[in-house]
Structure 1
């Protein structure tokens, strides 16, 4: 029996035992409740509400019930979170809210949720749409198309839908899932309404503030509606960080990086919409979304080179970095329903995403090396000892101070037209649609190829720069042991004076800011996608079959520059492919409460913009020669997938579900150094086909598979106050790998980046008498984070997060709340090989937020 089969059998058996136990509890509940039980939810679905769109009012129970009903009637495999349910968790953005759903893991940056990973797969395998229109992300590294969820505040949304199996009307650029973020519609509620909240709290580590505020104003009558919304979230955060490097052969530490970050992060959002429904079944609308993620990051860092138990070198690094991600989305659309089976919709969308990084890193080594030794009894926390009493933090070389002007900017402008048409003809519904997307991308990847000598040049122009003069009298706010006493530097003043010096150097002809960015890291691209689909839905008694074919014609024009050590040369590369993506979904209502599903599909994941850029640096002096940069010859990843599930909807408010999936993936993307085997980089008669290229490559085949168990139940059969108790949880068990050539040219097997083999989300909640309380725990096992050059992988250690959310409805208008997050004060650890060689150790502390929500 194969390893995959054994895994699926073991996992299915484990989940089957758990489901059996829960089914017995559910049956007992059903006997006590009886047929006369009524759901504690307000769910409206009528002729004016599109199929699958649920209008929700009321408590968390109502929101959960509505999400369950939407999942039950969906023709494909989905998981759904309503915005009202998300508001009952301490979540500030869409990533945190989605992480509560089955099979979803979250990828954090400085403790804040940024990307999500569905079914443990790389985040590039999950695509995103807003109100049904596909969106593509750009980030500061330029190496992913994944959408940044920390840029979308949850307050803008009415519903978040994870489509785990595809139908042909959904974008094919999804290997494990596509997520649709649905924005609020003012026509859902007539009259004038104000919804929002204010909150303030503290970060346990560092004592910095945490604040948030949101407001949504909406008004509508039977034919016209308008909405305006705004949101703000900010945290002042201190992050403890330790990083280390090791000798590959012996495993001994070669350096330790001791870091402390002071961050000011905020998310701002604006949202507006107009809707006009002149007649029932007809609607025209216009929507605008603007969102911003900002991170002001002050870094204090000391790097200790070590050998044996002795410190051999010491360098300080400091910066006042600025990270920005801005999204502007505008949409015009119209829906038509003649109530005789004909429906149509048209959407025109413009989306701009701009991501910038400005990270002037100032560094200097110790002018006199102090007599330092160290111990690492706990490899996460090296302890340094000043053996000779000669350590002086203010002893960095003034003339040797350098600045590394790290800069990055990527902008994507996208124009999309989407049209859909459907006709119901008895038991058969036929649908067809077209999509055209035209996207321009211009940017650069973050590089470190240039140094500016602040110390030496500063003295030359009579403006000396003393890096030591910025050390303050304030000690680091750290919970990590260190052994030495370190004080913060004034990063803001250091950056200000460095920029003043750069202006002087520019005037003296010693500095040219136009050369800060390596031309080989720049790229200009235009991609165009023309897609069409035909789909049919056949309902035969309890069986619903949905099958269709999607065709996508994709073209990209790619421009950049090559550098051969002497000259730059412009290069262009274009690709054009036409692909076919069939899909089939079967839904069978075995009874009023049991739904069985089976689905099959083909999907795609296209390489990131930075990964396929033309730009590259060439060295002809090495033997063999080397090339580093983008790889325009990359192929997309393609997949065939199968999904199956059984869902049991319990009386009152509850569900049990067991699902399994399998994905076969070709052309898996990974990073490595391999022979070029192409004449694309040849110039001036030089054959470079045998050079070694360092960048992103296509591997061979891969497979990802697993099972998911999801359970939700409120114990409404219990007497009195106890009937407010309930539980919600999900368990996902995963496995998979892919093959590629190793450093010796042999076929080897590797894990997928980001795949935890076990993901758990569990919560106990109470909802009654105006009280809403929830204790939630999230846990995931270790996963491969960075593959490196195949053989030098970095893993992330598994961790759990414990959160508590409390709500008390003072009356129908005001609700008090308290959100207590990361109460276990998790330590996030990355390691190379084993946990005995940690490469990064980070902690941000617990967070406490208190406030008031209002709606009237």
Structure 2
């Protein structure tokens, strides 16, 4: 079905569901230099009604001087989404990357997630997820309840950070001065997951009080869900067919907590000082049940793409109770000062700490000899292969003597100190602005380390604690929504981990295991990053024309330290670099008529490599020919872009808008994974020339281009008679394309780029009822990128959510949130969808509760 046909079909279906209010409204808000009608400290009050929220959004979009979109909170002071990524995903040209079905990263305009930067209340934030392998910010660690607005700046002004190729997102927290007097808002909800019937619960509370000069706000939120995740994977495909069937199910408990508070003092209009503090955390306890039918290691039989009959097939089991943690501590103090003659000044001081840790002790064993399997399989439906074992199947036949534990660990900590100030002065039709920023960030951590292996089966008996992996198999069958062909029972992952770690303690005391090797020296790194920025900018208005132009200077310094291990000898090395760059920008807005606005913009931006990618730590093998190096590439260059944007916006009479926006980005030094000659003397210590060694890591490609067009429509059907005028529609479609070149390949697709992204919402609001059905769809995209342009692709998917609200009175509202009603299956594939490498689902989700406000 074509994209228009698909959208028409879905939209028709949505109309019959009485769908929902759009909380993430395609609107615009911008920083002080970009919005004439709204000061940075002036809150946009969203009343919670769909119409009021739309009107506010449209007013902000018309006033903005740069291209930007806004997701605004509702009257209760929260979004109807559990985290910030879910709320942002409803805006034009925005797609999300999910983990176990939960929104985590944001992709704007189809670009890699590293090309979108993030700030909180104007202070830049940098992600250190996955051992620092990405700078992308984790939105699942920030509950949406903490925020009042999320602003996506698609074109830059010089007072915004230049570290953005396609967009920079500003997450804005609540101001206690928004409303006078005492106000209490919150919600409580409970529900369940369709797959496995695990519970889902949430709650939030915000208390604020203010008078004319002083205000205080405190609040918190909690969200938790227990879910099952069905997962099927194929290790690879060779000339005969699938090499293995990897059958997994995860039992997961995830929870987010958020605490925030703020005080403000405004002795008179135009003067304000404030302090804000935020704590947020994402927690994931994950039990893995995994069995791999290792087809390519069979001793006999036949294997094809569609079917097979094999003998002597090893079965490998992998189990764990893993812990994933992400915590953020953010504190800001600041102040604003304004005079009647047009002088404005502001300052902010911020401390931010991010901790990202993973502890994933994997216990693993395989069958052998007579315990290997004779089986047949049917792979005619490759998303759901069916395995039939000849004779009775007993999963408790793994080799106890060969059981191992892989102590997988990762921890990365970032501490950042930032000072920012801005100054502006109106002189007739001209506004001059200037400011500066200094950021000092320390990053210490290690990439995901799996080098240390303990032979539990072989060593356990030596300390009087034999370890039999088969004793942990329970009599509880998997609760799965995927067909399989054999029955598998759960393993007691909590007990198996407790006993394995207890055994490790005894082995350590006996000198048979060294936990210090869990994280090798070559995996560690320590970096200090400093950025000194200054900008000058001018805004001029002449009739229907408004122009904002300026230049930003950034001085960037990196002190990069790590340890390189060669021939068993650890050598500390240091790589220092510095660069001064200039980033001009220009935004022009022209009011062609009262309701028609034209915009054009241009800017230069940058995206710096991830901390793990540039780490000095490495492991060198001098015996290979040529020698090999596994580690970071500290000589990586940043990616730079020149970008152009344009839009046409028509504001419909009454309430609504139609807009078309186009953009183009020219990018140099595009990052990609490869194995190539080092090409430098950095690793030439100990009298050894290693410049021709092959380094496996991240490299700079050559030029790339990314371009696209966005169509957006928002309209309440106020022209319909009677009760029908409560209906409305909001939708957007984005068409994208682009590629980049390397020294050996041309036309490689960008990671994460879907060529088509669509969002559509039908809503109804009247007589106390607010309802919305929201549909999202994205086409296939490249997920991981190999050394020569090969990679794993992700199949596009759709998502349908329904939210219902009924206001009993002005203080109490009942709600129901029904999510993922299409019960999506997230599919990865190799080459074509006929050779899937991963199929995963988490099922639909249902949450019911009440919101209160007084």
Q: Shorter-chain TM-score: what band?
A: over 0.9
**Deviation string, structure 1 residues 548-594 (Cα, Å, up to 9, x no partner):** 00000000000011111321111110110000000000011112211
Distance 1:704 1:52, change over 3 A: farther
1:283 paired residue number: 272
Counterpart of 1:326 in structure 2 is 327
Task: Tell me the residue number matched to 1:300.
Answer: 289
Q: Matched residue of 1:740: which SS? A: coil
Is the partner of 2:118 in helix, strand or coil? strand
Q: Distance in 1 between matches of 2:36 and 2:151?
A: 20
Match of 2:763, SS? Answer: strand
Matched, 1:836 2:844: no
Q: Deviations over 1:348-371 (max 9, x none)?
A: 000000000000000000142122
Q: Distance in 1 between matches of 2:400 and 2:565?
A: 34
What is the CA distance between 1:89 and its match in structure 2? 6.6
Deviations 1:591-633 (A, max 9, x none): 2211110000000000000000001111112221111110000
> How much does 1:141 deviate?
3.7
- For residue 378 of structure 2, the aligned residue among 371, 375, 378 is 375
**Deviation string for 1:200-244 (max 9, x for gaps)?**
000000000000000100000000000001000001000000111
Q: Distance in 1 between matches of 2:435 and 2:625?
A: 54
Give the secondary-structure state (helix, strand or coil) at the position aligned to 2:702.
coil
1:796–1:48 Cα change, 3 Å: closer
Q: Is the 8 A contact 1:103 1:732 kept in 2?
A: yes
Shift of 1:339: 2.6
Contact kept, 8 Å, 1:52 with 1:73, in 2: the verdict is: no
Match of 1:821 among 810, 819, 822: 819
Residue 415, structure 1, aligned to residue 404, structure 2: no
In 2: Cα distance, 1:653 partner to 1:477 partner: 49
- What does residue 14 of structure 2 align with? none
Please say if residues 52 and 70 of structure 1, whose CA atoms lie closer than 8 Å, have aligned partners that are also in contact: no
- Provide the rounded CA distance (Å) in 2 between the counterparts of 1:167 and 1:789: 36
| Distance in 2 separating the partners of 1:85 and 1:301 | 45
Tell me, yes or no, if structure 1 residue 849 matches structure 2 residue 847: yes
The partner residue of 2:795 within 788, 797, 815 is 797
**Structure 1 segment 503-582 matched on structure 2, within 5 A:** 503-582=505-584
1:28 matched residue in structure 2:
none
Question: Residues 226-245 of structure 1 correspond to what in structure 2 (within 5 A)?
Answer: 226-245=216-235
C-alpha separation between the residues in 2 aligned to 1:807 and 1:247?
49
CA positional deviation for 1:78: 0.6
TM-aligned CA deviation for residue 433 of structure 1: 0.2
Counterpart in the other structure of 1:657: 659
Conserved? CA contact 2:46–2:75, under 8 Å: no
Offset, 1:690: 1.0
Is the contact made by 1:90 and 1:820 (CA closer than 8 Å) also made in structure 2?
Answer: no
Matched position secondary structure for 1:503? helix
- CA pair 48-791 structure 1, distance change in 2 beyond 3 A: closer
Q: Partner of 2:741: helix, strand, or coil?
A: strand
Residue in structure 2 matched with residue 347 of structure 1 by the alignment: 348
Where structure 2 has 5 or more consecutive residues not aligned to the other structure, the ranges are 9-34, 297-302
Partner residue of 1:24? none
Q: CA deviation at 1:519?
A: 1.2
Q: Tell me the secondary structure at the aligned position of residue 453 of structure 2.
A: coil
Q: How much has 1:512 moved relative to structure 2?
A: 1.3
How many equivalent residue pairs? 810
**Secondary structure in structure 2 of the residue aligned to 1:137:** coil
Deviations 1:620-652, CA, capped at 9 Å, x for gaps: 122211111100000000000000001111122
Q: State the shift of 1:679 in Å.
A: 1.3
**668-677 or 81-90: bigger deviation:** 81-90
Q: 1:286 & 1:593 partners in 2: Cα distance? A: 40
Work out whether residues 377 and 385 of structure 2, in 8 Å CA contact, stay in contact via their aligned partners in 1.
yes
Please point out which of 774, 777, 788 is paired with 2:775. Answer: 777
Task: Spell out the pairing of 1:252-291 with structure 2 (5 A cutoff).
Answer: 252-291=241-280
Provide closer, same or farther for how the CA distance between residues 48 and 618 of structure 1 changes in structure 2, counting only shifts above 3 A.
closer
SS in 2 for 1:700: coil
**What is the CA–CA distance in structure 1 between the aligned matches of 2:502 and 2:589, rounded to whole Å?**
67
d(CA) in 2 for partners of 1:343 and 1:415? 24
Task: Point out the more displaced range, 429-438 or 588-597.
Answer: 588-597
**TM-score, normalization: structure 1?**
0.93
Stretch of structure 1 that moved more, 207-216 or 49-58: 49-58
3-state DSSP of counterpart to 1:166: coil
Mapped to 2, the partners of 1:88 and 1:276 lie a distance apart of 24
Runs of 4+ in 1 over 4 A off after TM superposition: 45-53, 85-90
Aligned to 1:811: 809
> Would you say the 8 A contact 1:53–1:70 is kept in 2?
no
Alpha-carbon distance change, 783 to 58 in structure 1, aligned in 2, over 3 angstroms? closer
Secondary structure of 1:539's counterpart equals strand
Residue 703 (1) aligns with residue 705 (2): yes
Asked if 1 retains the 8 angstrom alpha-carbon contact of 2:472 and 2:496, the reply is yes
Distance 1:852 1:606 in 2: 44
* Residue 251 of structure 1, CA deviation: 6.6
The superposition leaves residues 34-66 of structure 1 with CA deviations (integer Å, 9 ceiling, x where unpaired) of: xxxxxxxxxxx9999548752222412211211
SS in 2 for 1:696: strand
Partners of 2:71 and 2:149 within 8 A in 1 = yes
Cα distance in 1 for partners of 2:398, 2:465 equals 18
Deviation at 1:836, TM superposition (A): 1.1
1:383 Cα offset (Å): 1.0
What's the secondary structure of 1:457's corresponding residue? helix
User: Is the CA contact (8 Å cut-off) linking 2:450 and 2:518 kept in structure 1?
Assistant: no
- The aligned residue for residue 82 of structure 2 is 92
SS at match of 1:140: helix
Q: Is the 8 A contact 1:225 1:275 kept in 2?
A: yes
**In structure 2, what is the Cα distance between the partners aligned to 1:735 and 1:510?**
56
Select which of 179, 183, 187 maps to 2:177: 187
- Partners of 2:422 and 2:39 lie apart in 1 by 17
**Partner Cα distance (2:651, 2:771) in 1:** 24
Q: Please give the per-residue CA displacement for 1:180-214, whole angstroms capped at 9, x wherever unaligned.
A: 11100010100000111000000000000000000
Q: Which moved more, 1:528-537 or 1:615-624?
A: 615-624
Contact 2:131–2:356 at 8 Å: present in 1 too? Answer: no
